[in-house]
Amino acid sequence: MKTKITTVLIIVTLISISAYSQNVVNLKIKGSDTVLPLSQKEAETFMKKNKSAKITVTGGGSGVGIAAFVDGSTDIAMASRKMKMSEKLKLQDAGKAYKEVVIANDALSVIVNPANKVSQLTREQIEGIFTGKIKNWKEVGGDDEKIVVYSRESSSGTYEFFKEHVLNNKNYGTSILMMPATGAMVQSVSQTKGAIGYIGFAYMEKNVKALKISYDKGKTFIEPNVINAKNKTYPVVRPLYYYYLTKDAAKVKTFIDYILSEEGQKVVNEVGYISLK
Amino acid sequence: MIISKKVIRKKNLKEKVAFNIFRVFSAIVVLSLIAILSFIIYNGISVINWNFLTQMPEDGMTKGGIYPAIIGTLCLVAGSMIFAIPIGVLSGIYINEYTKDSWYKRFIKLMTNNLAGIPSIVFGLFGMSLFVNTLGFGDSIIAGSLTLGLMVLPVVIRTTEEALKSVDNSFRHGSLALGATKLQTVRKVVLPMAFPNIITGIILSVGRVSGETAPILFTVAAYFLPKLPSSIFDQVMALPYHLYVISTSGTNVEASRPIAYGTAMVLIGFVLIVNLLANALRKYFGKKVKMN
């Protein structure tokens, strides 16, 4: 009895290993939580058209994705920021050449609870809030309410991008709360009255309010929406990247071509990001 | 000696108070379980149907089913058990039957206990660095199964050990006195008697494996993969991780809320069935042993 079971198990293992070596479109995509819903939807529509294709999508954050990419445990790294110098050096040391593709744009939005009176902030005010200098909403024209600052954790590309482009490379304050995922941030902000946070545009929901932002010290406040993002009047528009190894180009080509095609870009709009054209 | 009625009454009263305190606390346990179960069933029952159990997720995981996650969890359970059962049961036998009470045995026991106390996320990170990166399995069923297997290894070892310990020594002595070797004694006498309890331990660890998220987070779980695995080097979706991602990630958390409750219900149902199975098997094998 026992030997029979063992034999069966060995056979199953052998079959599965041999099945692995067969050549089918089998892609692993890993990384940014911002890009995650987009990749998921693109993979879903792509696989509906190409039944034999197999695309695995995993989140974790841009940092996690790029780390996995350097290790070679993923074919495509999705990132909401550019690759850092240290990461580039690691790839160079390993002798791996890579390609970068912009697949969509995102309007990084600052959100607050809908009950909040404040509906616009300047970049300087946002910097003050996230670095911990401004602690109460009344300092920026709101109610007398303590500001609860939510941020993504440090492996997030959005975290890095926000720090570079909105906080002027200043460090986040010590009292901010780190959220493991963007969806969790939306929920927390929708449930906390004095909350503020930042999210990718596709995550925008009715139970949070997007702030208008001014990058010219309060002369014009611009709302994050598709039109303002497309004509680049909204100041915090960022590209979303795919990274892949040059030697894998043939393997990933069909999928990336699909995303860049008209149909793929339509999916970008459906998910809530800003298409390239 | 005559005990005064007052003393007796006082004693009885104390007993009553103590009993009622026990009763209240056990009621709290049962009630909280009922509360959690009914909350999940109330929210989840409406989405559970045949399609939910047998279809791929669709439309940004706000519609469709959780079929790949169910299959993924079954794969991980099978994989981790293939790894944990032989090693765990054999080590348990070794510790209880073959070692004398030496520093070596105490050392193994100490290490097993420590292994049992390690948080599951540590296993996850260990699995990632050893199986995924160093051994180069990548995110795969095999890496996840080995990580989960490692995690439940102490449970299997300890239950095997306890099960063997509960077999009365007179059976061993009787067997040895009839000229049987130690191996024969263990195989033909001790192991069959301990079997029902060993099975219980194994099935309880199946329940644990199917419900853990942290160890599979970095070793196997996929956010989205609407295909069944074709090899042990594939990633899979898994029920607990699926529950985690659709309630925290995704652009429309509200829309996927019913699916989250449905997934929770399937997961709890799975663990419940496994536990009932453990009970039934123990009774079945227990009877068999007694009859022999």
The identity of residue A129, as a single letter, is I
How much is the mean pLDDT over chain B? 87
Asked if residues B269 and B179 have their Cβ atoms less than 8 Å apart, the reply is no
Q: Which residue has the tokens 């898994």?
A: B238
Interval B17-55: pLDDT, tens: 999 999 999 999 999 999 999 999 998 888 888 888 888
Strands A120-122 and A212-214: parallel
pLDDT (average), residues A62-87: 88
Q: What is the pLDDT of residues B146-161, one digit of tens each?
A: 999 999 999 999 999 9
Q: Residue A183: which of B132, B224, B248 has the nearest Cβ?
A: B248
Place of tokens 């059962």: B85
Using CB atoms within 10 Å of the CB of residue B275, give its burial: 0 to 12 exposed, 13 to 18 middle, 19+ buried.
middle
Identify whether the C-beta of residue B80 lies closer than 8 Å to the C-beta of residue B156: no
Q: Show the tokens assigned to A132.
A: 């911990």
* pLDDT computed for residue B290 by the predictor: 59
B195 has a chain A CB within 8 A of its CB: no
Within 8 A of B146 by CB-CB distance, chain A residues are none
Helix (H) or strand (E) holding B192: helix B191-211
pLDDT tens-digit profile of B260-279? 899 999 999 988 888 888 88
Average pLDDT for A61-88: 88
Query: Would you put residue B99 in left (φ > 0), alpha (ψ -120 to 50) or beta?
Result: beta
Query: What residue in A sits closest to B249 (Cα-Cα)?
Result: A183
Side chain identity, residue B263: T
Per-residue pLDDT tens for B111-144?
A: 888 988 888 899 999 998 999 888 888 888 999 9
CB contacts of A13 in chain B (<8 Å) are 232
How does pLDDT run across A127-161, given as a tens digit for each residue? 999 998 888 998 888 888 899 999 998 888 889 88
Tell me the mean pLDDT in the region A167-194.
87
User: Residue A109 pairs with which residues in a beta bridge?
Assistant: A199
| A37·B222 Cβ contact <8 A | no
CB of B256 within 8 Å of any CB in chain A?
no
For residue B58, the chain A residue with the least C-alpha distance is A44
Indicate the pLDDT class of residue A12, thresholds 50, 70 and 90: low
Is B226's CB within 8 Å of A37's CB? no
**Nearest-CB residue to B133 (from A71, A183, A203):** A71
List the one residue out of A152, A201, A148, A214 whose CA is nearest residue A178.
A152
CB-CB under 8 Å, B252 with A57 = no
- Return the beta strands (E) in B21-76 as ranges: 57-58, 63-64
Q: What is the pLDDT of residue A150?
A: 93
The pLDDT, as a whole number, for residue A16 is: 53
Residue B216 has pLDDT above 70, yes or no: yes
- How many CB pairs lie under 8 A apart between chains A and B? 96
State yes or no: pLDDT of A10 exceeds 70: no
Interchain CB contact of B33 with A (< 8 Å): no
Q: How far apart are CA B207 and CA B203, in angstroms?
A: 6
pLDDT at A135: 87
A58/B61 CB distance under 8 A: no
3-state secondary structure chain A: CHHHHHHHHHHHHHHHHHHHHCCCCEEEEEECCCCHHHHHHHHHHHHHHCCCCEEEEECCCHHHHHHHHHHCCCCEEEECCCCCHHHHHHHHHCCCCEEEEEEEEEECEEEECCCCCCCEEEHHHHHHHHHCCCCEHHHHCCCCCECEEEEECCCCHHHHHHHHHCCCCCCCCCCCEEECCHHHHHHHHHHCCCEEEEECHHHCCCCCEECEEECCCCCCCECCCHHHHHCCCCCCEEEEEEEEEHHHHHHHHHHHHHHHCHHHHHHHHHHCCECCC
Farthest CA pair distance, chain A: 81
Top residue of B224, B235, B259 to mutate, by most chain A CBs within 10 Å, is B224
Mean pLDDT of A229-246: 88
User: Roughly what angle, to the nearest 10 degrees, separates helices A36-49 and A249-260?
Assistant: 100
In sequence order, which residues have a C-beta less than 8 Å from that of residue B66 and are 6 or more positions away? B52, B53, B57, B237, B239, B242, B259, B262, B263, B266
Q: Is A149:A155 a contact under the CB 8 Å cutoff?
A: no
Q: How far apart are CA B198 and CA B213, in angstroms?
A: 25
> A72 to chain B: nearest residue by CA?
B138
Q: Kindly determine whether residue A19 and residue B138, on different chains, have CB atoms separated by under 8 Å.
A: no
Closest CA to A34 of A268, A246, A196, A212: A268
B15, HSE (Cβ side, Cα atoms, 13 Å): 6
Could you report the per-residue pLDDT of A18-59, keeping only the tens digit for each? 444 444 678 889 998 888 889 988 998 898 888 888 888 988
- Residue B20 neighbours by CB distance under 10 Å: 10
**Per-residue model confidence (pLDDT) at position B292:** 45
Our CA-based measurement puts residue B141 at a distance from the nearest CA of chain A, in whole angstroms, of 11
User: What is the distance in angstroms between the Cα of A143 and the nearest Cα belonging to chain B?
Assistant: 29
Q: What is the pLDDT of residue A21?
A: 44
pLDDT digits (tens, 9 = 90+) for B181-203: 999 999 989 998 898 888 888 88
B4/A contact by beta carbon, under 8 A: no
Tokens of A258: 């699909």
- pLDDT given at position B1: 60
Let me know the angle formed at the C-alpha of A175 by A174 and A181, rounded to the nearest 5 degrees.
Answer: 100
Instruction: Name every chain A residue with its beta carbon within 8 A of the beta carbon of B222.
Output: 56-58
pTM of the entire structure? 0.80
Asked whether residue B61 carries a pLDDT value surpassing 80, the answer given is no
Kindly provide the ipTM of the predicted complex, given to two decimals: 0.74
User: What length is written for chain A?
Assistant: 277
From B217's Cα to the closest Cα of chain A, the distance in A is 9
